[in-house]
A and B are shown apart, each in its own frame.
Chain A
Amino acid sequence: MTNAPILKLDHLGVTFPNNPVFSDLNLTIRQGEVWSIIGKNGVGKTTLMRTLLHQLRPTQGKVTYLPSVNDVRIGYVPQFRNIDADYPLTIRDFIGLNLTGWKLPWLSAKERAKVQRIIEQTGLTELANRPIGQASGGEKQKAYLAQALVEAPNLLILDESTASLDPVTKTELLDLVTELNQRLNLTVLFVTHDIPMAQKYTHQYLMMTPGKVEQGPISQLTDDKVWEGENV
């Protein structure tokens, strides 16, 4: 298992007009690591994720994907998606949406096999032909994860993906992510408010508080630090 750096943030900062979100953020993430990104609402977790996804340009510092941006494929799993319950879009179709490109409208046999493989890996075989709008919250999250995985990412971002799930479904999803991390050496950033889950499933933490960012091994994330972070 290699442990090469995959992502480096150098003095990264984002400032909206008259509103500094975060500044001077330095971080190196290595392949295969699982990080939890924690902090109160409004401290800039989503802004940080949008910067990593190139949806926002940093106002200070830079984001470097190593060895080059072309080698990093990012899979992103959000908490919600706005999909009409009546759309005739099966979970299988939904996963296949991520296979874009200047290609024929229909999926090739090779692409269909790829979708089928991901369906099996994520335990969606029984549900593959169900419309995604009619799936439960946990099934939807699994489908979002499967869609993100179909392009074989090496960096997976779970953006509060488990926030609306019951404890059993939450555990099931994170067990699946852990298994993928171990089998595929997948790097994972888990944005969450759920400290016990972060302590159970991640290796490192990045705690964002207004004006301060702290990081370290998850074993060093003590209750005192969490209390302090939540009350800044």
Chain B
Amino acid sequence: MFSYEFMRNAFAAGTIIAVICGIMGVFVIARNMSFLTHTLSEIGFSGAAFGVFAGWAPLNGMLLFTVVSSVIVGQLSARSERREAATSAISALFIGMGILFLSLANKNASYATSILFGSVIGISVSDVRQMLWLSLVVLVVVFVLYRFLKFDSFDHTGARVKGLWTNALSITFLVLVALSVSVAAQIVGSLLIFILLTLPAATAKYFAHTVGGMMVLAIALALIGVWSGLTLSYFTNYPVSFFIAAIEAIFYFVALGWQRLQTAE
């Protein structure tokens, strides 16, 4: 399997994605932003389609759309009572735009499928390098802002009362999610990216005893999903995103069952 360059690249890219998603996922879950993450991934699809239409690399289109829209989404959904509706409206608009750009670019359905569901074969060494740089940016910002992000994510009331710049933190966080979405969409696709940004962390919260532990476990679960998914996809020729989605969903349901047993005891 590792004699093929594309598989080596896919494993390298998958490892980067799993680490980023494991860390960011903990904050996504704590901030109750799973649905918003889903919307950003749809915006990523629209951006990739725009990139194709404009003759750019899809990743650049994705970065442009997700980063700009994360700021807009953050502003529109700052008040939690209108978050769901605002997110739905933005999601619908961007899916429509994605379909329009694909149609204008005259690309066929298989191209749309690879943007939506990801592709292992297409990952080059330069893609991996680009992902690595973007991921390093995300990691450095999270490292620097860690205490502020942790306070605001796990105890928003306390952070607000302390006078932390919670709106700026929220927008910064969404930009980081946008970068993570653009990085991870390369393998699992824009439509399924929210799997890696939500399920490993959602599973980890039932087993971990500290936030740091939750992060380590989320990274481990994301790594297991991505590595196993790539391996199974290689041997069966079925889509990698199917395996990753199935593995992460199984982990999550097992965690839910385990938690129910614990509370029943």
Q: Which residues of chain A from 55 to 110 have a CB within 8 Å of any chain B CB? A: 55, 76, 78, 80-84, 86-90, 93-94, 97-103, 105-106
Complex Cα gap A98–B163 (Å): 11
- 0 or 1 for each of A155-186: is its CB under 8 Å from B? (1 = yes): 00000000000000000000000000000000
B162, B208, B213, most chain A CB atoms within 10 A: B162
B154, A83: Cβ atoms closer than 8 Å: yes
Complex Cα gap A129–B156 (Å): 21
Query: What residues make up the interface of B, taking CB atoms closer than 8 Å to A?
Result: 30, 143-144, 146-148, 150-151, 154-164, 205-206, 208-214, 259
Contact A98:B211 (CB < 8 A) given known A83-B154, A87-B154, A103-B147: no
A97, B157: Cβ atoms closer than 8 Å: no
A55, B162: Cβ atoms closer than 8 Å: no
Contact A97:B150 (CB < 8 A) given known A55-B160, A81-B158, A147-B158: yes
B164, A90: Cβ atoms closer than 8 Å: no
A86, B158: Cβ atoms closer than 8 Å: no
Contact A97:B151 (CB < 8 A) given known A78-B157, A88-B210, A105-B146: yes
Residues in A whose Cβ lies below 8 Å from that of B150: 97, 105
Residues in B whose Cβ lies below 8 Å from that of A105: 143, 146-147, 150
Complex Cα gap A99–B214 (Å): 20
A102, B154: Cβ atoms closer than 8 Å: no
Choose from B147, B156, B163 the contact partner of A99 (Cβ within 8 Å).
B147
A100, B154: Cβ atoms closer than 8 Å: no
B151, A98: Cβ atoms closer than 8 Å: yes
Query: How many positions in chain A have a CB within 8 Å of any CB in the partner chain?
Result: 30
Residues in A whose Cβ lies below 8 Å from that of B206: 86
Complex Cα gap A102–B141 (Å): 12
B147, A100: Cβ atoms closer than 8 Å: yes
A146 to chain B, nearest CB (A): 12
Dominant SS among interface residues on chain B: helix
Complex Cα gap A44–B107 (Å): 60
Contact A81:B157 (CB < 8 A) given known A88-B209, A88-B214, A93-B211: yes
B191 to chain A, nearest CB (A): 27
Complex Cα gap A78–B146 (Å): 24
B148, A97: Cβ atoms closer than 8 Å: no
Residues in A whose Cβ lies below 8 Å from that of B143: 105
A53, B161: Cβ atoms closer than 8 Å: yes
A98, B146: Cβ atoms closer than 8 Å: no
Determine the residue in chain A with the shortest Cβ distance to B161. Answer: A76
Residues in B whose Cβ lies below 8 Å from that of A88: 205, 208-211, 213-214
Complex Cα gap A107–B164 (Å): 18
A93, B210: Cβ atoms closer than 8 Å: yes
A97, A129, A147, most chain B CB atoms within 10 A: A97
A100, B155: Cβ atoms closer than 8 Å: no
A140 to chain B, nearest CB (A): 12
Determine the residue in chain A with the shortest Cβ distance to B164. Answer: A100
Determine the residue in chain B with the shortest Cβ distance to A144. Answer: B158
B210, A100: Cβ atoms closer than 8 Å: no
A51 to chain B, nearest CB (A): 13
Complex Cα gap A131–B205 (Å): 11
Choose from B148, B156, B259 the contact partner of A86 (Cβ within 8 Å).
B259
Residues in A whose Cβ lies below 8 Å from that of B210: 88-90, 93
Known: A53-B161, A83-B155, A101-B147. 17 other contacts (CB 8 A): A81-B158, A82-B156, A83-B154, A84-B205, A86-B205, A87-B30, A88-B210, A88-B211, A89-B154, A89-B210, A97-B151, A97-B158, A98-B151, A98-B158, A105-B147, A106-B212, A131-B209
Residues in A whose Cβ lies below 8 Å from that of B164: 100
Residues in B whose Cβ lies below 8 Å from that of A53: 161, 163
Complex Cα gap A157–B213 (Å): 33
Determine the residue in chain A with the shortest Cβ distance to B150. Answer: A97
User: Nearest 9 A-B pairs (CB), nearest first?
Assistant: A105-B146, A88-B208, A76-B161, A97-B151, A100-B147, A81-B157, A88-B214, A86-B205, A88-B209
